[in-house]
Structure 1
Amino acid sequence: MTIIVHHLNNSRSQRVLWLLEELEIPYEIRHYQRGADKRAPKELYQVHPLGKSPVITDDNRQGKVIAESGAIVEYLVRNYGQGKAVVKDQERLDEDVFFSHFAEGSLMPALVLKLIFGIIPTQAPFLVKPLVKAICGGVEQAFVNPEVNSKIKFVGDELETRGGGKQWLAGGDKDGNPTAADYQMAFPLEAAVAGRVKDLPQSIKNYVEMIHSRPAYKRALEKGGPYDYAK
């Protein structure tokens, strides 16, 4: 019996692999590849109605299926962590909860909007491409970029107070290892460092480098396969 990770390339499921490696939980990977439209394949709908990744199947609990990376992180830490990935200093529990939700509730939607408005002009018919590019560029400049920049500045400032990005967001667990906030924040900040955001604060770059230097992260990367955001 084991945990199965339904792993989509270049997706949030990479952080689930990292967590499993840190917790030293046996798991199996089932690989899925994005189509030409960059979307997840239809096969994932057979696993969960949302048809997205990450999704895990827990064979230890009668094939229980868990979707959404935040829910997966909480589930694995609660049921298999044995005290790992739990904030050592309970005074900082609110920080752990905040950043766990901020990652997908605020930061990632802004980055996705930036990605979408960058893609739309490339998909437009040739004759209207200049017009579409101008409109998307205007929206991005007026609305999207200010949202992205304010959130990136917030994270950069927060990390600066944490050793310039060389400490975990909520102080780490009893052994000094990452907690839920770090697993959740990893993907959007990796995406930002990989090119979605220019002129990033050094504290964010330091934080992502710290994540990438973890032996458990390297093992997860080797098992998960090519991952554009680890370059």
Structure 2
Amino acid sequence: MLIIHHLRISQSERIVWLCEELGLDYNLKLYNRDPETRLAPAELKALHPMEIAPLIQDGDTLLGESGAIMDYIVGKYAPDTDLVPGPDHPDFAEHLYWYHFANATLMTNGMMSIAVNAVGAEMPPPLMKRVTNAWAAIERRLGEADYFGGAQLTTADIMLGFSLTTARAFNDMSIDHMPNLKAYLKRIGARDAYQRAIAAAEPGFPPKLD
């Protein structure tokens, strides 16, 4: 059976959500953060050279990186899923863009902000512009379509979900000025698969949906 190694309050919640959307059986192993470093505990670090989550085990296969894991699971277990529009689908290009935007842009911006704050500095204006551009693009896209990948939920939404919800629990960012995003998060929060995923991955931690 597929094993998901999930570090609490981390982007590995994506993999749990994906499996719930696909209706796949999996074994979920939860890890709490080290109380001093706030990073992965020793038993999770020992599994992979990068010492981070997400990780999955599938037989003899041990795989990290959110995007790689999602492509692997879809390709092996659900190649015909509607969560990934094919090249002939009108939403194909938008899905691809936002699927990669999740880590290439939004998560990168978040990590830059964390690094800058960790040394007691402020974001340089060019980097801050990247951050504001990204959130503006999110609000604009959700005024054009119900989901990032188009008319229906895709793996682009699952990739972006952590940054739009759980990650915001650790900063003071308000989205009151983003009505499209607020409406979108209500749609996400109403999904049975999302509710099951968060209940399993983050027991006792309510999702940040507003």
> What band does the TM-score fall into relative to the shorter chain?
0.7 to 0.9
Aligned match of 2:132 in 114, 132, 149? 149
Residues 16-47 of structure 1, C-alpha deviations (whole Å, 9 max, x = no match): 10110110110001111111211112322332
Counterpart position of 1:106 = 105
Deviation, 1:149, is 0.8
Deviation, 1:115, is 2.8
Counterpart position of 1:87 = 85
State the number of aligned residues: 203
Cα distance in 1 for residues equivalent to 2:67 and 2:204: 20
What residue identity is the alignment partner of 2:25?
A: P
Deviation, 1:190, is 1.5
SS at match of 2:49: coil
> Pairwise mapping of residues 1-231 of structure 1 onto structure 2 (< 5 A)?
2-35=1-34, 36-59=36-59, 63-84=60-81, 85-87=83-85, 90-121=89-120, 136=121, 139-140=122-123, 142-162=125-145, 167-171=146-150, 176=152, 178-191=153-166, 193-194=168-169, 195-199=171-175, 200-226=177-203, 230-231=207-208
Whether the 8 Å contact between 1:57 and 1:65 is mirrored in structure 2 is yes
Deviation, 1:10, is 0.5
What residue identity is the alignment partner of 1:186?
A: G
Deviation, 1:68, is 0.5
Cα distance in 1 for residues equivalent to 2:126 and 2:103: 19
What residue identity is the alignment partner of 1:171?
A: G
Cα distance in 1 for residues equivalent to 2:191 and 2:137: 25
Q: 1:97 to 1:188 in 2, by over 3 A?
A: same
Cα distance in 2 for residues equivalent to 1:76 and 1:227: 27
Q: 1:192 to 1:42 in 2, by over 3 A?
A: closer
Residues 47-77 of structure 1, C-alpha deviations (whole Å, 9 max, x = no match): 2211111100013xxx211110111111111
Gaps of 5+ in 1: 122-135
Cα distance in 2 for residues equivalent to 1:67 and 1:192: 20
The alignment's TM-score, normalised by the length of structure 1, stands at 0.79
Deviation, 1:196, is 5.0
Cα distance in 2 for residues equivalent to 1:97 and 1:16: 18
Whether the 8 Å contact between 1:117 and 1:140 is mirrored in structure 2 is yes
Larger radius of gyration: 1
Whether the 8 Å contact between 1:111 and 1:196 is mirrored in structure 2 is no
Cα distance in 2 for residues equivalent to 1:14 and 1:105: 18
Q: 1:38 to 1:144 in 2, by over 3 A?
A: farther
Deviation, 1:13, is 1.0
